[in-house]
Amino acid sequence: MMTMEKMIKSSALALALVAVVGCTKKESTTGATNAAPAGDTILVGEVGSMTGSEATFGTSTHNGIELAFEQINAAGGVKGKKFKLITLDDQGKPDEAATAATKLITQDKIQALLGEVASSRSLAMAPIAQSNGVPMITPSSTNPKVTEQGDYIFRVCFIDPFQGTVMAKFALDTLKVKNVAVLRDVKNDYSVGLADFFTQTFTKNGGKVVVDQSFSAGDMDFKSQLTAIRAKKPEAIYVPGYYTEVGLIARQAKELGLNVPLMGGDGWDSPKLTEIGGKSIEGSYFSNHYSPEDQSPAVQKFVSEFKAKYGVIPDGLSAMGYDAAKVLADAMTRAPDLTNKAVRDAIATTKDFPGVTGVITLNEHRDPVKSAVVLKVAGGGYKYQTTVKP
């Protein structure tokens, strides 16, 4: 059961009553012939980890989505309708994510689904969206399997075969390390995939993975894995996990005298990483979707609008949430009508969309091809290092 169910009503939405959403006719399993709901709102569902050990993923993403819809509504909405967002918390659990998706689709009759961040949870939701013919856009799930779930499933982020390559090349060419350890979360599809993709490119280009250790999400003691890693004397450790475990791993590595940089992926992106990791995580590197230091007008405009509303600098997840909502609105504007099929087809033809996190063109796999950035943990925050083009 959901512990928290939030009906988000920003002031700009206050006038948009959810009067009529009941005339959606459910047809068989594809939903492709659904009638477009009447009324003056477009109901969008969001599923995220608003609580739990990845809570900043959910809340950051939500803030980005909310800002986007507020701006779109203020500019008149889409086809004369205003967006209304229903957000459900999955507590960071795949089965809760599936329950939430089902509820949003069958009870609330949403017209599109945004979420999740974590690939394992998007993988739990996608078959439900697909079988009901409801378009789903994940802002930031990077595992390739997510959009393979069907033609109603999209993403606005790069995928992990690319992300793994980015850090493998950075390790070899910039950090000049040849012998690395890998420490992966075996309960996390994203982590397992990214560890494999990194290893492939790293070894193909002359690097060596001297030891490959694993843990399970929720673990708090990593000493035995780190001791095994220390014995192999790696020059760096690749840890493609989420921020809570990575912060703890950084601390315990230092306690064991392992003074080598950690490297990771987008799962590190949280204001909590440096809070948990403290000094131990300083000097480590990770790949990500965007940097707020990027001086491009699109990024700086977003950063200042976000700061004005929430008082903090947006992390990558807020930027991805913002882009996912804007891509959805753009597709709904281009679609001849708001039936699920028409919206799906319009999302699929997204081309050259100017996102905050880069220009978004979806390919035949419903994935965009975009640049990544590498950030260094420094001074309690992140310092931009480089941008890597696909």
Task: Specify the residue, 201 or 357, whose C-beta has the smaller distance to ligand PHE.
Answer: 357
Q: Applying CB under 6 A, does 367 fall inside the site for ligand PHE?
A: no
Question: How many binding residues for ligand PHE (CB under 6 A)?
Answer: 14
Q: Applying CB under 6 A, does 316 fall inside the site for ligand PHE?
A: yes
Q: Applying CB under 6 A, does 90 fall inside the site for ligand PHE?
A: no
CB of 267 to ligand PHE, least distance (A): 4
Segment near ligand PHE (CB under 6 A), from 25-33, 117-125, 249-257, 327-335? 117-125
Q: Applying CB under 6 A, does 57 fall inside the site for ligand PHE?
A: yes
Among 154, 190, 285, 306, binds ligand PHE (CB under 6 A): 190
Task: Specify the residue, 92 or 207, whose C-beta has the smaller distance to ligand PHE.
Answer: 92
For tokens 């590595």, the residue is: 253
Q: Applying CB under 6 A, does 94 fall inside the site for ligand PHE?
A: no
CB of 287 to ligand PHE, least distance (A): 10
Binding mask 269-288 for ligand PHE (x = CB under 6 A): x-------------------
Partners of 112 in the β-ladder: 44
Q: Which residue is nearest to ligand PHE (CB)?
A: 190
Q: Applying CB under 6 A, does 322 fall inside the site for ligand PHE?
A: no
Task: Specify the residue, 133 or 264, whose C-beta has the smaller distance to ligand PHE.
Answer: 264
CB of 284 to ligand PHE, least distance (A): 15
Q: Applying CB under 6 A, does 63 fall inside the site for ligand PHE?
A: no
Q: Applying CB under 6 A, does 318 fall inside the site for ligand PHE?
A: no
Q: Applying CB under 6 A, does 59 fall inside the site for ligand PHE?
A: no
Among 34, 142, 149, 274, binds ligand PHE (CB under 6 A): 142
Q: Do residues 139 and 169 touch, judged by C-beta distance below 8 A?
A: no
Among 68, 125, 128, 317, binds ligand PHE (CB under 6 A): 317
User: What is the contact surface with ligand PHE in residues (CB under 6 A)?
Assistant: 57, 117-119, 140-143, 190, 266-267, 269, 316-317
